[in-house]
Structure 1
């Protein structure tokens, strides 16, 4: 796409000029952020959108407080999770009936793995990257222990060998630490050769890159909604199951809400035909109402433009980091990178706290990684410029070495 996203600013004035021509600039005003804060942790918890707060307040003070139990009908609570799955489907290139908002990423990984295992060929195994997010590894190992299959932790460079052996492979579309973006289409092609099934974790991808599950040939996925989708702390997860595969998938945690006719109160489980068959329990309506509002932020957004701006913000960060002399562990090419950039910084933790004191909120990943998330909906080029100026000043003056910046918080 030919636009101003292709230019890397070399001065603050050039960054401001890019902001003045940004087609996504209008989205920023709808986010509620404190004054004098530059928020760079959208990959951990996105900020609230005004519509999310409005929907949450209305749900609590009107639908719940006044409508009480009748709101399952009058406010549409009963169908809200499936409705939001349908809306979210447009952000990942899927059909509405293939996506359901339910449970957590951990639970959905387990449910999809159990559903997929009987459909795979080759070795009875579940594979996961040795550098994958810890939860994904924990779920893979626990699933293997319960089912008696092998758990294989795949080292870098061994991906296609693992897929060639069959079974299930849990893989993130964007690596949580480095930000590396995976060629999903190539992985799916390899999986088809071996009748293996890939289970994609879209947690660090949804809402910041242009996903197309159909074009990739993806069959199964899950992801969270509290990062770039800004659904709020603890917002529910979503799962995706390709429509031709859906009839063959049997959840290990069948729930009343996923029954084809729940109000017949039949003792025998008959699943719904769509992805809602994976609903296990009563949905968290307050969280869903916030998510409903949060997804409005994407109503008029071109996902290709969103992807391009995320890449351009990252390009600016990387260019400035290299000028400062910092080690970048994220891919240099925007097409191979998700929405965040990670830098290796000695004494990284106190440096992040020093940045925080100046209004630049980022996060730290042990032992020495500072991670900046670039959400294109509310971040500006000038924000990235100012961030890197502040980082350079902190490193040059060693202001990070103040005692208060060394005190560890429980959450980093």
Structure 2
């Protein structure tokens, strides 16, 4: 097992405690901090002071309280070395980003998007998701072993799904995937990541302009027709750009890393892999347990306290950054027995892999649908699936906001 930088010539930064992993697991120091202290003052990845919250109950309490723990943080723009932005520039960058606003603004935006992510809507998408999965399995089978499961399966499937849903040209996928991967890589210099963010916004602005000129049947077209200029509850162009950018990044980065890392976890537990492959009733619980066990989203968006608060018996002053150790919380022994062990037969309900409260992941039904389709289809198509390299040589993406794999060489 290796933890790698995309550019191995760069010096690796010091990872914040909540991002440190040993393979699938939070490092022992993270578990000890959760079990002993629960809340600790730390520095963020960008050198800013913050309070790290690790216990499951405390994490849920913070996530449930958008009044005292605000997502509308201006502190995120104050990191050492960050460029200075005017208030107008900050508002434009925040517009449409559901993760960066609180109610009632968040409520207004989410109400427009929720109909597109209901379980009923996902069921209508299911035949197309099955087709996309089967097409990629066909291509893998035709090309023959070995294969890189990340490049050939885990990454392109969610990318194609979200591209079709949003109305993004799939031909652009390589460009936006590379840009997004670098944007989420904290080992890159901040000025380079800021440039990538501007390029990403410019790309989304072009897509929105095309949708405004000729709205299609996709989600962007729907938003323009139903909520664009001139309609009740207008969305500004900046909000459309922000919504599209967030959904594109979240729609392919999270699920693709779950598919890659989840397959590796199942390969390391052959008895549980067999259950997912052979028992349709085992698939949905397995997805929930993998979400809990892997905890690919390290922390989500930092919150800012709007008043003096107390969390886990620790006093936190107003205007403080609060970071949530989601992976550690999902293994809290107070809520899950033997949480460091993968057990797809357990009831993993209550995990915070999709967050909690008003900011609970909008795309959770879509992510679940993709995983429930892709995992068993892959394992049935290739019943002899196995690693093509020793486990110790598998490269983990340690320096990304979303944990995952650089590649996953497999054979069958």
Higher CA-based Rg: 1
State the TM bucket, normalised to the shorter chain. under 0.3
Structure 1 length-normalised TM = 0.22
Structure 2 length-normalised TM = 0.22
